[in-house]
């Protein structure tokens, strides 16, 4: 990746305190266009706090937060969304009982008609949904079918497609593959790659190094609220990354005990 271009989003020495708890203690990272940045870290490393800060849910205690090179302070998630930073959370913000179309346009319904007769343009919404789903290779025969009928991977893809369709430039994906099977995971990973190729910056949060290595261009490792470092794909191997993430030796010895299967 070229270092000359301005990152879409960059944070430097980000610190976040919750009362006496220091959740982030100097995190630096950046994501460029056409890039998947993987944010790796074990439980409690501060991944969630970092996402929520990037998404505008939390305000950083100190540190720089640059969007397109300009310092920004978000007053809420809506602000971040307007700046083109969309977050797909683990629970996806999808409602299983509602149709794919209704979920896709939830909160941003296309309207048609005048005054009191203003109504949802359901045909248009159905068409857009069908098209967008088709682009990612999910053949939704009937966009009016409930989201509950889709598989976990398909739901994840719908949530990502929704964010992309509504103009996201930076996509934050919070453990999109953690609850998925093998086939489903590869479907989601393929789609992440596709989104990157469209020119978006993707921040892919995971604690699965294999998934990260499959699509990532760069890897930022978090541990105890700090960045341990950022590595390009050609600088680091998958095992090295694994060890770094787990904090070194302990896991290595455990891994030997288990016959090197972790």
Partner 1 sequence: MTLANEQNGSAVGPDERLKKVSTLTAILRRPELGAVAGLVLVTVFFLLTANPAMFTLAGVMNFMAPAAQLGILAIGAALLMIGGEFDLSIGSMVAFAGLVFGTALVVWQMPLSVAILVALAFAVFIGVTNAQLTMRTGLPSFIVTLAFLFILRGLTLVGLKWASGGATQLRGMKEAVAGSPLAPLFSGDAFPGLFTWLAEVGIIDTFPNGTPRVSGVPVEILWFIAIALLATWVLLRSRFGNWIFASGGDPRAARKSGVPVARVKTTLFVVTALCATLVAILTVLDAGSTDARRGFQKEFEAIIAAVIGGCLLTGGYGSAIGAFFGSIVFGMVLIGLTYTSIDQDWYLVFLGGMLLTAVVFNNVIRKRVTGER
Contact residues for partner 1 (CB under 8 A)?
77-78, 89, 91-98, 102, 105-109, 111, 118-120, 122, 137-139, 141-142, 145-149, 151, 153-154, 183-184, 187, 190
Q: How far apart are CA 207 and CA 45, in angstroms?
A: 10
Cβ-based nearer residue to partner 1, 107 or 259: 107
- What is the b/e burial string over 97-108, where b = at least 16 CB atoms within 10 angstroms of the residue's CB? eebbbbbbbeee
CA distance 247 to 194: 32
- The torsion region of residue 19 among left (phi > 0), alpha (psi -120 to 50) and beta comes to left
Of 80 and 170, CB closest to partner 1: 80
Task: Give the SS3 label for residue 69.
Answer: coil
Distance in Å, CB of 138 to partner 1, minimum:
6
Point out which residues pair with 70 in neighbouring strands: 67
Closer CB to partner 1, 205 or 222, in the complex: 205
Shortest distance, position 94 Cβ to partner 1, whole Å: 6
- What kind and span of H or E run contains 249? helix 249-257
Least Cβ distance, residue 102 to partner 1 (angstroms): 6
When the beta carbons of 142 and 257 are compared against partner 1, the nearer one is 142
Q: What is the nearest approach in angstroms of partner 1 to the Cβ of residue 24?
A: 22
Secondary structure (H, E, C), 20-46: CEEEEEEEEEEECCCEEEEEECCCCCC
Closest CB to partner 1 among residues 182, 258: 182
Q: To the nearest whole angstrom, how small is the minimum distance from the Cβ of residue 41 to partner 1? A: 23
């Amino acid at each position: 990746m070229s270092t000359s271009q301005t990152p879409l989003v960059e944070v430097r020495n980000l610190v976040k305190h919750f009362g006496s708890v220091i959740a982030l203690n100097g995190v630096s990272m950046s994501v460029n266009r056409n890039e998947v940045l993987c944010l790796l870290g074990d439980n409690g490393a501060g991944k969630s706090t970092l996402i929520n800060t990037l998404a505008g849910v939390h305000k950083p205690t100190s540190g720089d937060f640059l969007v397109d090179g300009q310092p920004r302070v978000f007053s809420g998630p809506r602000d971040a969304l307007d700046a083109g930073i969309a977050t797909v959370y683990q629970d996806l913000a999808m409602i299983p009982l509602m149709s794919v179309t209704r979920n896709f346009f939830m909160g941003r319904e296309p309207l048609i008609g005048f005054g009191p007769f203003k109504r949802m343009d359901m045909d248009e919404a159905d068409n857009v949904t069908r098209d967008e789903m088709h682009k990612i290779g999910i053949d939704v025969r009937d966009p009016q079918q409930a989201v509950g009928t889709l598989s976990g991977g398909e739901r994840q893809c719908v949530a990502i497609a929704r964010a992309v369709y509504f103009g996201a430039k930076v996509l934050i994906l919070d453990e999109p593959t953690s609850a998925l099977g093998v086939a489903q995971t590869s479907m989601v990973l393929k789609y992440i790659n596709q989104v990157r190729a469209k020119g978006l910056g993707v921040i892919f949060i995971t604690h699965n190094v294999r998934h990260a290595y499959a699509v990532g261009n760069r890897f930022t490792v978090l541990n105890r609220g700090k960045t341990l470092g950022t590595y390009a794909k050609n600088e680091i191997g998958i095992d090295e990354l694994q060890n770094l993430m787990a904090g070194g030796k302990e896991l290595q010895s455990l891994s030997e005990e288990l016959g090197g299967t972790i």
